[in-house]
């Protein structure tokens, strides 16, 4: 018989009043995944100018260690090829 992990609810990962956790030694702040998604959506917007796109890319790059520690890229792929290429070196 294999050990099964109980399904996780948001409050299991970050209980009320806790804003950060550490996974594999990486500090992860509440909202990291949501911020990454919102930044990616803005980065993909054709109306986003180059300077703002660079700022967004920097923010997404800085989030990569936390996203890797969470295992995000073990279960999800970036569908936007341009964004995937821009962040490819950071995902591993």
Identify whether 28 is part of a domain: yes
Query: What pLDDT band is residue 86 in, cutting at 50, 70 and 90?
Result: confident
Number of domains the chain contains: 1
Identify whether 67 is part of a domain: yes
Q: What is the pTM of this model?
A: 0.85
- pLDDT for res 29: 94
- pLDDT for res 91: 59
Q: For residue range 5-59, what is the model confidence (pLDDT) as tens digits?
A: 889 998 888 899 999 999 999 999 999 999 999 999 999 999 999 999 999 999 9
| Mean per-residue pLDDT, 65-77 | 93
* Enclosing domain of residue 58: 20-90
- Beta strands of the chain (E only): which ranges? 20-23, 26-29
Identify whether 7 is part of a domain: no
Of 19, 18, 43, nearest in space to 31 by CA: 19
- pLDDT for res 2: 65
Does the pLDDT at position 1 exceed 60?
no
- pLDDT for res 35: 97
């Amino acid at each position: 018989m294999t050990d099964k992990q109980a399904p996780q609810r948001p409050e299991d990962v970050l209980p009320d009043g806790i804003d950060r956790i550490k996974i594999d030694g990486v500090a992860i702040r509440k909202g990291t995944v949501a911020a990454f998604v919102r930044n990616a959506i803005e980065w993909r917007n054709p109306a986003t100018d180059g300077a703002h796109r660079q700022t967004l890319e920097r923010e997404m790059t800085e989030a990569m260690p936390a996203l890797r520690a969470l295992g995000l890229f073990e279960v999800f792929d970036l569908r936007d090829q341009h964004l995937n290429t821009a962040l490819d070196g950071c995902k591993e």
